[in-house]
Every structure is written in structure tokens, then in C-alpha cells.
Amino acid sequence: MGEESKKQLIEEINLLRQQKNAIILAHYYQPDEIQDIADFVGDSLQLAQQAANTKADVIVFCGVHFMAESASILSPEKIVLLPEPGAGCPLADMINAEELREEKRKHPGAKVVCYVNSSAEVKAESDICCTSSNAEKVVASLEGQDILFVPDGNLGKYVAAKTKRKIISWPGFCPTHHRVSKEDVLQSRELHPDAKVLVHPECREEVWQEADYVGSTSGIIKYAENSSAKKFIIGTECGILHQLRKRCPDKEFYLIAKQMMCPNMKKNSLQKVRDSLLTLSPCITVAQEVREKAIAALEKMLTV
């Protein structure tokens, strides 16, 4: 896309967001130009908080389907748009409501902690949601109870290690994070021996065991901003590099492995954002009976 047409699209987006009283929320994994036009860029927890508290009439969610669904659950009176309706999440697709009900029958009495990377139907079958930012706090809030953690097994193992709790984890995973290996960490350290290794807890145990810091996308950014180190090896989706370089222009960042890219997060574009504001579609809604059950799990998370 030429600079002229890009500039025109941004002008149209800015005009439309004023006319429609819209807010644009973007995840850190979105393309650079989407992050740059957003009213707010954040991780799943920060975006859920923004969606719950915004005064806007229209929420344009630049992320993936489960994020827009969560916004619709938290703000049912608002129009929630997902500019790219085909932006799904393979991790969220690794469990459905029937599979969760079956697992709950195997563990009667267990509290279900559901990672936000899941469908509204799965949230509706859960006791409380969590994000990678607050998973430890959420689990710690459920004192002395058996915990069934869905759908991310890597995050479940990490939280179990941090909280010293027995957690039954569903064997789901994020394909982008799961492909990173211990070998990738060791090779990165050889190439950049004076760099700190910062990874997301969706990575495998063999990876986070080797890291200097494990945390959510917002946690990784904060660590880099506050650290006296000048070089960092980043173990999460490549979209985060845009924010890291903007906020820490004097520091160097290297991806832990090639192909650290979520194809679903990269499906969005300025044109799709403009079109969604123009037509107020595709609109994401959640059936009332599902929403009523799912909102309890999300609101409990927001109070932890």
C-alpha cells in the first residue's frame, strides 16, 4: 500500500471513529499500523478492562474472535466489531463446552479456571477466567480447592509451579508459542550472551525454565522498560517488537526463534478497520443464555 492511500485510510478511520463514537482496541500482536491507530493497545487483561469500562458506543476489536466475544459479554449494550471475522484462535478451538462438561464430571468439586483464550460457551461452563497477567492471582484466590485449568496446558503447568498447587491441566496449546524449544533458547543465548531472555508462559516448560523472566505481553514490556539491560531475547509473538522498540529506542530486541508469528493476528488491515466502521459490521454478539453464564466468570476475574 502506498503512503498516500495509507494516509487517506487513516484519515477516514479517524473521521468515522468520531462520527460513530467508536474506540479502537488493539492487541500487542496486531500489525504495526493497527497498533499505531488504536486508542488503546494492550494484552488480554488490559483490553477486557477497557471493553468493560469504555464510554464509547462502538468497540472495534483488533484482535481475534474470543477477544471480541469477551468484549460483547462485558458490554452487551455496545456494538462490538471484529474487522476480520476469520481471525480465530487455534488454542481456543482445542476445547469445546461438551468436552469441558465431560472433564468436569471426572473431577466433581473442582473449580474450573478458564484462560480467556477460549469460546464464550467454554467460559459459560467455568467458575472464573484468567489471563496470563493474572493467572497466578486467580488460582491463589481459590484457596484449598481442586483446580481444573483449561485450555492451555503450558500456562497451567507454569501456574502450578508458581503457586505450588495441584492443577489438572487440559492439554491445549498455542501453536506459535509451543513451537519454541529449549534449543532455541540456548542458541539465542549463544548469539547474544549478554541479553536477557523474556518469554510468555504459553511457551513449554523446557523454555520458561531457561528464561530470565516469564510473563504476559504487558509484563514483558514492563520488564524491558525497567531493566538496566540493553539487549533482550523475546519469546512471544513478533507483534510485540513494535511496542518494545517504540518504548525502548535505546535497547535491542531479538526474537527467540523464526516464525514467531500468529497468522490470525496478522489478518487485520487498515482497510478492514475502515470498512467495519463504515458498515458497523462484522458485529460479534453472544447468545443471552451463554452470556449470562459467561459474564460471571469474566467479572470474577476482573475483581481479583
> How confident is the prediction along the chain (304 residues), in pLDDT tens digits per residue?
788 899 999 999 999 999 999 999 999 999 999 999 999 999 998 999 999 999 999 999 999 999 999 999 999 999 999 999 999 999 999 999 999 999 999 999 999 999 999 999 999 999 999 999 999 999 999 988 899 999 999 999 999 999 999 999 999 999 999 999 999 999 999 999 999 999 999 999 999 999 999 999 999 999 999 999 999 999 999 999 999 999 999 999 999 998 899 999 999 999 999 999 999 999 999 999 999 999 999 999 999 9
Residue 89 φ/ψ region, left for φ over 0, alpha for ψ in the -120 to 50 degree band, beta for the rest = beta
Please give the residue range of the domain that contains residue 139. 92-173
Task: Write phi, then psi, for 201 (nearest 5 degrees).
Answer: -70, 0
* Max Cα–Cα distance, the chain, nearest Å: 60
Instruction: Enter the pTM of the model.
Output: 0.96
**Domain-located, residue 159:** yes
**Residue 168: inside a domain:** yes
Q: Let me know whether 167 and 220 are in one domain.
A: no
Distances (CA, A) of 163 to 34, 37, 137, 219, 223: 36, 38, 9, 18, 21
Domain count, the chain: 3
Instruction: Say whether both 75 and 98 belong to one domain.
Output: no
The answer to whether 78 and 56 have CB atoms below 8 angstroms apart is yes
Cell of 99: 468436552
Is 296 domain-assigned? no
Q: Are residues 211 and 135 in the same domain?
A: no
Residue in the structure block whose three cell numbers are 536477557:
196
Q: Does 99 lie in the same domain as 80?
A: no
